[in-house]
Amino acid sequence: MEPEQRPSFSSSCTQNAEPGCSFKRAAHRLHFSFCSIQYPIALVRFICFTLHRTRERSTMKILVTVKRVIDYAVKIRVKPDKSGVETQNVKMSMNPFCEIALEEALRIKEAGLASEVVAVSMGSAQCVDTLRTGLAMGADRGIHVEATGALYPLTVAKVLKALVEVEKPQLIIVGKQAIDDDCNQTGQMVAGLLGWPQGTFASKVLLDKDKQLATVEREVDGGLETLCLDLPAVITTDLRLNQPRYATLPNIMKAKSKVVKKYTPQELNVEIKSDLEVIDVTEPPKRKAGVIVSSVDVLIDKLKNEAHVI
pLDDT number for residue 80: 86
pLDDT number for residue 180: 87
Residue 31 CA: distances (Å) to CA of 4, 25, 28, 41: 34, 10, 5, 15
pLDDT number for residue 53: 52
pLDDT number for residue 21: 53
Averaged in consecutive runs of 10 residues, what is the pLDDT profile of the chain (310 residues)? Answer: 46 45 52 52 59 57 94 87 83 93 95 94 92 94 90 92 94 93 91 95 91 91 91 93 92 92 92 82 83 89 86
Q: Tell which phi-psi region holds residue 110, choosing left (phi > 0), alpha (psi between -120 and 50) or beta.
A: alpha
What SS3 state is found at 226?
strand
pLDDT number for residue 36: 53
Q: Tell which phi-psi region holds residue 195, choosing left (phi > 0), alpha (psi between -120 and 50) or beta.
A: left
Model-level pTM greater than 0.85? no
pLDDT number for residue 110: 94
C-alpha 298/C-alpha 237 separation (Å) is 44
pLDDT number for residue 34: 47
Integer Rg of the chain from CA: 32
Beta-strand relationship, 92-94 and 68-70: antiparallel
Single-letter code of the amino acid located at 220: V
